[in-house]
Structure 1
């Protein structure tokens, strides 16, 4: 199953007295790189979430963002840390005694100070189960998007492979005509330059040029690599790195084919092959 490395998914859930939102974003990356943005109160679950995501995603840069906010409920009691309030007022009194013009502050100022308001105790295990379920649900949605986009990439790559097979077949059919045209040009040139042309020498030169311009090995390797790409696309395991290697091999053979080109049509075939390979290479960079 082909999977893209680019996707997004998001969900919300109510856990205890909190409303939690989870967002998962993934982009292409050489390895599996998972980062988290979590509230401090939820840091205890990071290692578990990393294991859950890492078990289902093998390549890609994944960012997991979890935000929390308190649920506004009628009759909800505001819990105050009275020891913290006493310590804060005592410290403020000592500081005011050293100030020339002490400034007054209100009860709301005190409430806004860190540590004054207490959070209601939440069942840590229940919180862990709820967050795990939320991330699992969001991860499944992310994987669906990756698979859907991966299927589209697979269709595009297959289409380009079939076009390449057509160009390779055209090059194979064209080569005998190229050699025939080259033979006629050399024969005409030698006839122009010599009253008694040495046609035996001409045949020797043609054999040498035919060996130099022979592209049968390049065409065979191109066909083999294209067939391997089509085979790899059907595998269930992550295939991105293997496809990337095959793109390098295809590009090498296309370059050699271009360097051996003996006429305009063969040069055009080599160019078309390189264009298709470059298009596939860009798409392969986004496959897991």
Structure 2
């Protein structure tokens, strides 16, 4: 299920920004992007997110910036990267016969990514007050995401109810055509029988075949099971959390009964109604993937 949450908090001269977004997924797939100051706290942060979100493809970001309320953040050189770039440039220049620029490679090295960085507090210990603010920011961002997902869940619930109602209404439409359907079948049988002499067939065998034929075309049992499945879907929808898989299974059973109705109906208008039922059900199947 999709969702988004963001919260920004201030601590001293720092701005702590937490963003979290989620997309639908069958299990929890959590990726994190943390400021280097909080990188060693990744495990408790992941546990915090996992405790709130059961599943979804989740991107969690925790960034630390200068709040703008203090002097400009000092810039520092990453001497390890500078030494690496110098070694590479020098070796490549020698191999390719490229002359060393006036002033050496210093100007080129300064343009390399990661050479000049904002100085960040790298102290090992994070004060409790700061960490509490971080946790609060994460919690509020998660709360926003949860509210977002609840709103989407409420919309999905209404979609499911509407689709189930539409299928139920279509099932009633099918019943309107049943007397006509039975009459057509009866007339067809009588017409064919009028062309056949009693001497040409075994009466007992004929009765057995007729019973089999009538049972094969009877859809009362399918209608009864379909009504039960529709009711059970709505009942499950109102139940406890974590019913996504169960709703998916019920939707499969609904589809099975609809398919059987279509194959047994032997009536153009009824088959058209079955197609409309399938369309409604397909929309349920698409959306039920977003339910936990």
TM-score bin, normalised by smaller chain: 0.7 to 0.9
Query: How far apart, in 1, do the equivalents of 2:11 and 2:118 lie?
Result: 23
Paired residues of 1:172 and 1:216 also in contact (CA < 8 A): no
CA RMSD of aligned residues (A): 3.6
> What 5-or-longer segments of structure 1 have no aligned partner?
none
TM-score, normalised to structure 1, is: 0.80
Query: How far apart, in 2, do the equivalents of 1:118 and 1:198 lie?
Result: 97
Is 1:184 the counterpart of 2:187? The answer is yes
Could you say if the C-alpha distance between residues 104 and 287 of structure 1 is closer, same or farther in structure 2, counting changes exceeding 3 Å?
closer
| Aligned-pair CA distance for 1:152 | 0.8
Is 1:55 the counterpart of 2:56? The answer is no
Paired residues of 2:74 and 2:118 also in contact (CA < 8 A): no
TM-score, normalised to structure 2, is: 0.79
Query: How far apart, in 1, do the equivalents of 2:70 and 2:154 lie?
Result: 49
Query: How far apart, in 2, do the equivalents of 1:263 and 1:197 lie?
Result: 30
Query: How far apart, in 1, do the equivalents of 2:3 and 2:118 lie?
Result: 41
Q: 1:218 aligns with which of 217, 222, 225?
A: 222
| Aligned-pair CA distance for 1:236 | 3.3
Query: How far apart, in 2, do the equivalents of 1:238 and 1:103 lie?
Result: 65
Matches within 5 A, 1:56-95: 56-75=52-71, 78=74
| Aligned-pair CA distance for 1:126 | 2.8
Could you say if the C-alpha distance between residues 204 and 12 of structure 1 is closer, same or farther in structure 2, counting changes exceeding 3 Å?
same
Tell me the residue number matched to 1:141.
144
Residues paired across the two proteins, number: 273
Query: How far apart, in 2, do the equivalents of 1:200 and 1:120 lie?
Result: 97
Question: CA-to-partner distance for each residue in 1:215-273, whole Å, 9 max, x for gaps?
Answer: 22222221111111101111231221111111111112211221112111221222121
Is 1:269 the counterpart of 2:273? The answer is yes
Question: Which stretch shifts more, 234-243 or 132-141?
Answer: 234-243
Is 1:284 the counterpart of 2:288? The answer is yes
Q: 1:208 aligns with which of 201, 205, 212?
A: 212
Query: How far apart, in 1, do the equivalents of 2:152 and 2:283 lie?
Result: 16
> What 5-or-longer segments of structure 2 have no aligned partner?
91-98
